Each structure stands twice: as structure tokens, then as C-alpha cells.
């Protein structure tokens, strides 16, 4: 029960890694405020947590939130603090993207991906910061990707957003290191989640530009719950000495 009496705010909680993270924190005693732009999926996540017995410290709760909107995020963080009385952990798991040729990315699509993947964590961090700094051992965990650490064909907007998030995380880790706030990333490889369907190569793609991104074990996919375990570790006191890290969870792909 590493998160008993701790309040955790999780974005992207309607499915995939965000849902698994919300469930993991709740199972370990945390009071979870889960958010997503997908209201139906979010309600399903909260129902799953409730069916599993909720949490030992208090019921999970949440609401719809568009992380690309500063006003939506500010209202959502305020609701979380009103509901549970503070904030100890911020998890930015919301993300969008997929394979697409650069010539096909228009301004709207570029801004959509940057808006969720990079601007979103900036909005949540800015809104949550005053509350996190009031707590001992507060932590931010951002979900990046192995795409943050190298170029990747056919997803330039996604890779750029995740690389930006990686260095944003490192920068705030340094800036607040003396004030008791840690910030880290988990960088997953291929994860079996709804987002994965947007990363299926098209027939007109050059496969040799993509194949080097594959894990050493053919067809190796990890489950969202496995990534959630890494997120929970980084947010816990067990990782008190880890700050500004990008913990790669890819089965050896980058190696």
C-alpha cells in the first residue's frame, strides 16, 4: 500500500496506460482523480476501480478534461483538490499520434499532437505545481516513448512532441530538485493499447525505415499494466533518489 493517504491525478485514464495507472494507484491505496476527454471510457475506468473495491484511503473519482485546454485543466485540478484535499502525484499519460507521412501532416494535425502530448503536460504541471509543492515527496511522472530518444520515420509530429516532453521533464526535475518535487519519465516501447492501432504501417511505407524500431523479440508487445508498474515505482518513495530520469521500458529495443 505505497500510496495510502496520497492523492494522484492521472490523465488519459479512459484506456491504455492511463487506465492501468489509475487502477494500479487505487489498488495500492491511493485516492485517484482520473481524467480524460473520453467521458464514456473514463466512467468505465472508475467502474472498474469501484468493482475492484475502490481504494483503502477513499473512493476514486474524476471527470472529463481536455489537457490541450488550459481552462479545462485548471478547472479539473481545482476539482481534484476540492474532492480529496490536495495533490501528491501527477501522472501525464494522455497521448495521441500515429504513423503518417510528413507531407500529409497539416497545421491542424501538428497542433493536435503537440497540444495533447506536450502542451497538455505543461498545462497540468502549471496548474498542479502549487499543490504538489505543499506535499512531502511529491512526484510527476510523464509518459513519453522510445520515439523521444531517436528519429522515427512516419511520425515526426509524435516523436517531436515526446522529445519535447522528455526535456521538459528533465528541466523541471532540475528546477525543483531543492524544493522536494521529483519529475521523471517512463519511455515505453510497443504497448497493447488503443493508441497502437494508429501505428500500423501502411502499404506505401518503406518497411526498412521502420523495422529497426522493432524489439529484439519478434512480435513482443507489453501490456499497459506492465507500464503502470513502472509509473507507480517512479512515483513511490522507493524511487526517492531518481529524478530527471527517462526510464526505458521497451524490452531492449533501444539497446
Catalytic residue among 9, 154, 158, 212: 158
CB-based burial of residue 205 (10 Å sphere; 0-12 exposed, 13-18 middle, 19+ buried)?
middle
Relative orientation angle of helices 39-51 and 16-27, to the nearest 10 degrees? 30
168: number of Cβ within 10 Å: 19
Active site residue 158: yes
Decide if 251 contacts 149 (C-beta within 8 A).
no
CB-based burial of residue 38 (10 Å sphere; 0-12 exposed, 13-18 middle, 19+ buried)?
middle
CB under 8 Å to 25, separation ≥6 — which residues? 3, 8, 10, 32, 89, 91, 232, 235
Relative orientation angle of helices 16-27 and 224-235, to the nearest 10 degrees? 50
Grid coordinates belonging to 78: 481545482
Which helix H or strand E contains 27, and what residues bound it?
A: helix 16-27
Supply the residues annotated as catalytic.
158
Amino acid at each position: 500500500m505505497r500510496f495510502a493517504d496520497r492523492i494522484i491525478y492521472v490523465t488519459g485514464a479512459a484506456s491504455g496506460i492511463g487506465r492501468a495507472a489509475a487502477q494500479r494507484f487505487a489498488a495500492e491505496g491511493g485516492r485517484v482523480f482520473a481524467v480524460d476527454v473520453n467521458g464514456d471510457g473514463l466512467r468505465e475506468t472508475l467502474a472498474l476501480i469501484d468493482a475492484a473495491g475502490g481504494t483503502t484511503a477513499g473512493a476514486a473519482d474524476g471527470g472529463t478534461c481536455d489537457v490541450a485546454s488550459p481552462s479545462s485543466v485548471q478547472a479539473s485540478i481545482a476539482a481534484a483538490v476540492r474532492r480529496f484535499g490536495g495533490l501528491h502525484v501527477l501522472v501525464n499519460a494522455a497521448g495521441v499520434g500515429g504513423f503518417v507521412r510528413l507531407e500529409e501532416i497539416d497545421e491542424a494535425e501538428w497542433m493536435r499532437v503537440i497540444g495533447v502530448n506536450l502542451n497538455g503536460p505543461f498545462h497540468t504541471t502549471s496548474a498542479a505545481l502549487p499543490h504538489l509543492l505543499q506535499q512531502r515527496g511529491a512526484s510527476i511522472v510523464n509518459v513519453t516513448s522510445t520515439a523521444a530518444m531517436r528519429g522515427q520515420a512516419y511520425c515526426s509530429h509524435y516523436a517531436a512532441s515526446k522529445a519535447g516532453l522528455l526535456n521538459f521533464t528533465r528541466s523541471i526535475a532540475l528546477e525543483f530538485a531543492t524544493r522536494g518535487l521529483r519529475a521523471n519519465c517512463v519511455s515505453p516501447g510497443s504497448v497493447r493499447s488503443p493508441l497502437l492501432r494508429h501505428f500500423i504501417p501502411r502499404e506505401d511505407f518503406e518497411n526498412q525505415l521502420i523495422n529497426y524500431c522493432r524489439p529484439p523479440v519478434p512480435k513482443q508487445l507489453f501490456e499497459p499494466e506492465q507500464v503502470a508498474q513502472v509509473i507507480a515505482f517512479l512515483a513511490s518513495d522507493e524511487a526517492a533518489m531518481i529524478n530527471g530520469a527517462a526510464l526505458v521500458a521497451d524490452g531492449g529495443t533501444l539497446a
